[in-house]
Chain A
Amino acid sequence: MALLLLQLFNGISLSSILLLIGLGLAITFGLMNVINMAHGEFIMIGAYMAYTIQQLFQKLLPASAFGWYFILSLGAAFAAAFAVGWLLEITLIRHLYGRPLDSLLATWGVSLVLQQLARQLFGAPNVAVKAPEWLEGGLVLSADLILPYKRLFILALALVCLAVIYFYQYHTRGGRRMQAVMQNRPMASSLGISTRRVDAQAFAFGSGMAGIAGCALTLVGPIGPTIGTYYIVDAFMVVVLGGIGKLIGTVAGALGIGVLNTAFEYTTSATLGKVIVFSLIIAFLQWRPSGFVSWKARALD
């Protein structure tokens, strides 16, 4: 029983990580239809931001303040990824709307550049980020059922991010504008919405979410310049499996992949588990080509 619960928790924990890395992509890919292959590098920016803030805390501040660094780095990671995302949108992405395959190529170029810059700034080897003390240890439910605080924190963070995005999209002026622009651009434009601004904001917001995901990933393991490449395909799988354009789809995609992945990894082996899950995704998309949840549209092309 405890084993089953532990596996289930592991599955949900993996799902929460996948959800975090998928949320930003759900905006840039799902809503804006930009294939941003540099999404993984925004994750990397967030992760290195956490590392930098930690170094600063260790050098400049007394040891007692160290516990607070992680909260600050969450904000810093979002801000840094947001800023780089904004810059990328106004310099490059803006010229590639409506050309998804071209945006794929160009952002892959961006990803190569950012990765190499990270390699030159922080060195090629992975660096470890030390988690704050209040995240060490775990919640002891029974002798063989211990839920690590780090995992619980990531789970909570994913839920908070989900709630924030939901609230932003459906209950704020900015979010509604974003929805309006994505659904009917000329109409939104003629009603006085600056679609260019909204595009830039949406893209930057999605990038900022990736930054937060990167910050959270520092709790899971060491970080390196290729961390983005490692997660990028998973992130796309989450969004594609879930379906485009609805948040609930992204949640479903993350849950499906996370739980199944853990289950198969437990019953077979780590590599075979991933192979089975990805094969299942391909099979599932044969049955429902647009994922779990999707917009119903009559548009043909």
Chain B
Amino acid sequence: MIQSFRPSLSLNRKLLLSLLLLAAMLAAPMVLSEFRLSLLGKFLAYAVLAVGLDLIWGYTGILSLGHGVYFGLGAYCMAMHLKLAAAPGELPDFMSWSGVEKLPWFWVPFESAGFAFAAAILLPVAVAAVLGYLTFRNRIKGTFFSILSQALVVITVTLFVGQQGYTGGTNGLTSFNTFLGMPVGDASSKRIFYYVTVAAVVATLLISRWLVNSRFGKILVAIRDGENRVRFIGYNPVVYKVFIYSFSAALAGIAGVLFVLQEGIISPAQMGIVPSIEMVLWVAIGGRGTVIGALIGAVLTNAAKTTFSEAYPEWWPIILGAMFILVVLFLPKGIVGTLRDKFARGEPGLAGSAPEPVGRGAGHPAAGTPVAASSGAAMGKAAAASPKRNGL
């Protein structure tokens, strides 16, 4: 599907928009209050995760409902270091409450910030690589993979809640003090964390852009649109899928680190089934298969969530639910994808170009009814208005 790489905005216009976005992110600390800035920092941390999720869902067609786990693992790794740094040489408070007498062996290396950061990336990558290798090798895909990734969430959350003495249980890890000598709650260090987050977002965007425009990215899209054909041509999709899944887990881990530094708490509630599915919504709203869309979706959705739930807490779940439904039905390409189509239509050279494929995920392997591999391409606006049964 070559179309997805055809620039629908002219390069100059794209560059201009990107620079504007960057300028807005850099200027935010001068305009926003301390509270709003830390919120924005948190949303941008989420955006790092969302871009990773977009790489595997939007580009590769694998819907992971378990990214909360990788986010949580990253956040917990960093939180363990922060917890130890808060009272050096002492046992963390919750451990003594739950009757643990000695610092468990796996907590000890987290006294080093460098180790904590490395673990925050490598642990999610390791889990994702093992799970990904096993499932992709056995050609478990589509809906089955999504449900398996949910099982991963259940396992992890149950484990974290159950092992209270080692993980802080339902309360999670909180009351941190310093990070590398900086007081974490301080306005100036918050500002530093914000800029670090912006840097991470920019780096994530650049790497992801480069990745999806490379040969590698084209193979990912090919896997999304017709995995068996890719296999028949001679590629091994397993390698590509495991790599991109692990890469997005690494991004989720980094997002967790950035989150915990700014929010000062991590608990199983932030990595459970509900947040994991909400993460998918950010990508859907922003526009799957567009790297920048994931960023925009994560920030906009979370900003809307904060605004609405401050004003009408009991209406927020209904609004969120309605957004899921409306986006799927009427905006299957998300904000960015829809806007891009509009612009593309306005430009003479591209007026006739086919609508961009949207990752629909793989067809169902067991249903016995073949799903046309190219179905994604046909599901443009027309398909949303007059739905037809796929592949039949």
Would you call B277 and A102 a contact (CB within 8 A)? no
Interface centre among B131, B138, B139, B367 (most CB of A within 10 A): B367
Q: How far is the CA of A116 from the CA of B227 in the complex (A)?
A: 39
Contacts of B387 in A (CB 8 A): 94-97
Number of residues of chain B lying within 8 A (CB) of chain A = 68
A180 at the interface (CB under 8 A from B): no
Would you call B364 and A271 a contact (CB within 8 A)? no
Number of residues of chain A lying within 8 A (CB) of chain B = 59
Contacts of B146 in A (CB 8 A): 35, 101, 104
Interface centre among A97, A98, A244, A272 (most CB of B within 10 A): A98
Would you call B151 and A271 a contact (CB within 8 A)? no
For A101, give the chain B residue with the smallest CB separation. B361
Q: How far is the CA of A105 from the CA of B325 in the complex (A)?
A: 7
Contacts of A194 in B (CB 8 A): none
Q: Contacts A108-B277, A275-B159, A295-B368 known; A289 to B139 CB distance under 8 Å?
A: yes
Contacts of B63 in A (CB 8 A): 101, 104
Would you call A102 and B328 a contact (CB within 8 A)? yes
Q: How far is the CA of A295 from the CA of B379 in the complex (A)?
A: 28
Q: Contacts A109-B324, A233-B154, A300-B228 known; A116 to B368 CB distance under 8 Å?
A: no
For B315, give the chain A residue with the smallest CB separation. A116
Contact of A102 among B281, B332, B366 (CB under 8 A): B332
Would you call B281 and A105 a contact (CB within 8 A)? yes
- Of the candidate stretches A2-10, A72-80, A277-285, the one touching chain B is A277-285
Would you call A300 and B371 a contact (CB within 8 A)? no
Would you call A271 and B158 a contact (CB within 8 A)? yes
Would you call B150 and A98 a contact (CB within 8 A)? no
Would you call A301 and B329 a contact (CB within 8 A)? no
B270 at the interface (CB under 8 A from A): no
Interface centre among A108, A119, A120 (most CB of B within 10 A): A108
A82 at the interface (CB under 8 A from B): no
Would you call B314 and A286 a contact (CB within 8 A)? no
B303 at the interface (CB under 8 A from A): no
Interface string of B146-172 (1 = CB under 8 A from A): 111011111100110111000000000
Would you call B368 and A271 a contact (CB within 8 A)? no
A20 at the interface (CB under 8 A from B): no
Would you call B324 and A106 a contact (CB within 8 A)? yes
Would you call B329 and A92 a contact (CB within 8 A)? yes
B190 at the interface (CB under 8 A from A): no
Q: How far is the CA of A295 from the CA of B227 in the complex (A)?
A: 21
Contacts of B135 in A (CB 8 A): 285-286
A236 at the interface (CB under 8 A from B): yes
Q: Contacts A102-B360, A229-B274, A272-B162 known; A115 to B317 CB distance under 8 Å?
A: yes
Contacts of B355-369 to chain A: CB distance below 8 A:
360-369
Would you call B318 and A185 a contact (CB within 8 A)? no
Q: How far is the CA of A285 from the CA of B143 in the complex (A)?
A: 14
For A270, give the chain B residue with the smallest CB separation. B162
Would you call B364 and A33 a contact (CB within 8 A)? yes
Closest beta carbon of chain A to B373's beta carbon, Å = 6
A177 at the interface (CB under 8 A from B): no
For B324, give the chain A residue with the smallest CB separation. A109
Q: How far is the CA of A281 from the CA of B144 in the complex (A)?
A: 12
Contacts of B338 in A (CB 8 A): none
Contact of A290 among B161, B366, B373 (CB under 8 A): B366
Q: How far is the CA of A300 from the CA of B322 in the complex (A)?
A: 35
Would you call B318 and A113 a contact (CB within 8 A)? yes
Would you call A183 and B368 a contact (CB within 8 A)? yes
For B280, give the chain A residue with the smallest CB separation. A105
Would you call B366 and A301 a contact (CB within 8 A)? no
B134 at the interface (CB under 8 A from A): yes
Closest beta carbon of chain B to A98's beta carbon, Å = 3
Contact of A300 among B153, B281, B329, B370 (CB under 8 A): B370
Q: How far is the CA of A92 from the CA of B326 in the complex (A)?
A: 10
Would you call B150 and A301 a contact (CB within 8 A)? no
B300 at the interface (CB under 8 A from A): no
Would you call B324 and A98 a contact (CB within 8 A)? no
Q: How far is the CA of A35 from the CA of B228 in the complex (A)?
A: 23
Q: How far is the CA of A267 from the CA of B347 in the complex (A)?
A: 68
Q: How far is the CA of A166 from the CA of B379 in the complex (A)?
A: 36
A259 at the interface (CB under 8 A from B): no
For B370, give the chain A residue with the smallest CB separation. A299
Q: Contacts A101-B143, A110-B325, A275-B155 known; A233 to B150 CB distance under 8 Å?
A: yes
A130 at the interface (CB under 8 A from B): no
A294 at the interface (CB under 8 A from B): yes
Would you call A289 and B318 a contact (CB within 8 A)? no
Q: How far is the CA of A279 from the CA of B314 in the complex (A)?
A: 36
Closest beta carbon of chain B to A10's beta carbon, Å = 19
Top 5 A-B residue pairs of the complex, sorted by shortest distance between their CB atoms = A98-B390, A109-B324, A271-B162, A112-B321, A113-B321
Add 13 more A-B contacts to A33-B143, A100-B364, A278-B155 (CB < 8 A): A35-B147, A98-B392, A101-B142, A101-B143, A105-B324, A116-B321, A185-B392, A236-B147, A282-B151, A289-B140, A289-B144, A297-B368, A299-B370
Binding site for A on B (CB under 8 A): 63, 131, 134-135, 138-140, 142-144, 146-148, 150-155, 158-159, 161-163, 226-228, 273-274, 277, 280-281, 284, 314-315, 317-318, 320-325, 327-329, 332, 360-371, 373, 375, 379, 384, 387, 389-392
**Sample (30) of A-B pairs whose CB atoms are under 8 Å apart:** A96-B328, A97-B390, A98-B391, A99-B360, A99-B390, A100-B361, A101-B142, A104-B146, A105-B280, A105-B284, A105-B324, A106-B328, A109-B324, A109-B325, A112-B320, A113-B321, A116-B314, A116-B315, A119-B314, A183-B368, A184-B369, A185-B392, A240-B147, A240-B148, A245-B366, A272-B162, A282-B148, A282-B152, A301-B363, A301-B370
Binding site for B on A (CB under 8 A): 33, 35, 37, 92, 94-102, 104-106, 108-113, 115-117, 119-120, 183-186, 229, 233, 236-237, 240, 243-245, 269-272, 274-275, 278-279, 281-282, 285-286, 289-290, 294-295, 297, 299-301
